[in-house]
Structure 1
Amino acid sequence: MKAILPRFLLSACALALVTACSSTKSPEVEIVKVQTDSADQLFNQGKSLQAAGSWADSNKTFEQLEAKYPYGRYSQQVQLEMAYNYYKDQEPVLALAAIDRFMKQNPAHPSMDYALYLKGLVSFNDSQGFLSTVFPQDMSERDPQAARESFAAFKELVTRYPDSKYAPDATTRMNYLLGVLASYELHVAKYYFKRGAYLAAANRGNLLINTYTNTKQVEQALGLMIQSYDKLGLTTLRDDAKRVLQKNFPNSTAAGDDMTVDTNWWKPF
């Protein structure tokens, strides 16, 4: 009996050790391998969605890319891609916010000319919304700020980057916007004239001439000023305006134009 007991205890201990080992998982087994998309995969996926016109889904993918790789190779490019998606998805406020963030964080980025061009486009489209909804509302209460901001962005582009591939189109749009803004001022001036606010009409015409000197609307602005000063009995100012009109537009009949407010003075780009 004395020899059997130790062997029994030894066997029991060995069985307990085997059981314990079999119930404990190896540290390697507990490691969970997570498959994560690479930066390249996420960027390419976002671009594919963008090409398909899925602007919102594309931006969701770019947001994932920004979150996972905030300092990666695509961190700056993604900001512009998201801004473009917002622009195409008709979200001008979000688009401009994304562009401003990019410009503030990357002032010397080689794509700054594109950022300015995109900023001009966003505001340009917004100005078209202004043109389609402004009439027949009270012109004195409206301000085509989007058109001005678009012009400012395009002007900065062509001034800072005259050789940019975006400069020619920006210049074309600037010329169009000058006509839009000059026509707006003329429309407001006529609006005042029709309501008997002749001094306001003359002042608005004068503003147009000084601000948009090389536009075709200058001729009509001078004619409106002549009629306004005549209504006010300001003969000296009237005659001065006549001389300027005759010198620059010798065959003009603008001084006798009907001051009817035309709600179709603009043409879409």
Structure 2
Amino acid sequence: MKYQALSGLLALTLLAGCSSSEHVVPDIPPSQLYSEAKVSLQSGNWTNAIEKLEAMDSRYPFGAYSKQVQLDLIYAYYKSDQLAMSLATIDRFMRLNPTHDKIDWVLYMRGLTNIAQDTNFMQDLFNIDRSDRDPEPAKEAFADFKKLLERYPNSPYAKDAHQRLLALKNRLANYDLATADFYLRREAWIAAIKRCQELQKTFPDTEAARQSLQIQLKAYQQLGLTEAVNRTKTLIQLNPIE
């Protein structure tokens, strides 16, 4: 009897799941569908906007609205935190439309999306230092903004890209510093020195580069390299920590 009751409950659950399937976008003219999607975008209803834009993208891939639909999808995916979808749409658009007049915006959005992937909500909420987390999205964002500034220096997004580039530089430098400190604490002296030298070469004008000299000094001292120790002490005097 219990088994029958359980089976009946399972059947009801499955039916409920089927009845709440994904909403089907009505087959209406593309101009009307796009107009509705724009209203959703403007009101911040990202889910509804994405639903309609995806329908347009699949139904009319070569239509009059196709490029603008993809641009709108990039933004809607980003705003709704669907970052992987945003990046995929960005890469597709850049591959198919390399000379589009909004390619600078697309590149800017790629940088923003990679930054969003690098952001840790709990870290921001509690101000927790996580310099040691995987920097790959930050590296991608750094490359995106650098490319934007090199290719489109007069873009309206160039100023903000420059500011974000500076922040990313510090983020990446702090990661190298955390890695060098990790090697030092593990008594991997040579690895610590190499990472410090790489940091100083790649990001010489950062606070992390100056701090790395202290790690480099300790590693040289452990190795008994007197000349290198004295040289590093001189560098520390010339580059005081602010």
- Indicate whether the TM-score tops 0.5: yes
Residue 67, structure 1, aligned to residue 58, structure 2: yes
Letter in 1 for 2:113: V
Question: Using the alignment, how far apart are the partners of 1:102 and 1:192 within structure 2?
Answer: 42
Give 2:145's aligned residue: 154
Give 2:223's aligned residue: 232
Question: Using the alignment, how far apart are the partners of 1:169 and 1:245 within structure 2?
Answer: 33
Letter in 1 for 2:182: Y
Task: Using the TM superposition, name which of 47-56 and 182-191 deviates more.
Answer: 47-56
Query: How far is 1:234 from its partner?
Result: 1.5
Cα pair distance change 1:130/1:58, threshold 3 Å: closer
Q: Percent identity?
A: 36
Q: Secondary structure at the match of 1:60?
A: helix
Please give the residue correspondences for 1:118-267 in structure 2 after superposition, counting only pairs within 5 Å. Answer: 118-129=109-120, 132=123, 139=132, 143-246=134-237, 248-249=238-239, 252=240
Q: Which has the larger radius of gyration?
A: 1
CA RMSD of aligned residues (A): 2.4
Query: How far is 1:148 from its partner?
Result: 0.3
Give 1:108's aligned residue: 99
Cα pair distance change 1:129/1:174, threshold 3 Å: same
Q: Secondary structure at the match of 2:120?
A: helix
What's the TM-score, normalizing by structure 1?
Answer: 0.73
Q: Secondary structure at the match of 1:122?
A: helix
Letter in 2 for 1:63: E
CA contact (8 A) 1:86 1:94 kept: yes
Question: Using the alignment, how far apart are the partners of 1:125 and 1:195 within structure 2?
Answer: 32
Give 2:67's aligned residue: 76
Letter in 1 for 2:135: P
CA contact (8 A) 1:130 1:144 kept: no
Question: Using the alignment, how far apart are the partners of 2:198 and 2:235 within structure 1?
Answer: 15
Question: Using the alignment, how far apart are the partners of 1:233 and 1:68 within structure 2?
Answer: 70
CA contact (8 A) 1:226 1:241 kept: yes
Cα pair distance change 1:157/1:130, threshold 3 Å: farther
Q: Secondary structure at the match of 2:191?
A: helix
Query: How far is 1:66 from its partner?
Result: 2.4
Between the two proteins, the alignment pairs up a number of residues equal to 214
Letter in 1 for 2:105: Y
Question: Using the alignment, how far apart are the partners of 1:102 and 1:181 within structure 2?
Answer: 28
Query: How far is 1:198 from its partner?
Result: 2.2
Question: Using the alignment, how far apart are the partners of 1:237 and 1:44 within structure 2?
Answer: 68
Give 1:40's aligned residue: 31
Cα pair distance change 1:137/1:69, threshold 3 Å: closer
Query: How far is 1:186 from its partner?
Result: 0.8
Cα pair distance change 1:212/1:234, threshold 3 Å: same
Question: Using the alignment, how far apart are the partners of 2:159 and 2:131 within structure 1?
Answer: 35
Cα pair distance change 1:72/1:226, threshold 3 Å: same
Structure 2 stretches of 5 or more lacking a match? 1-25
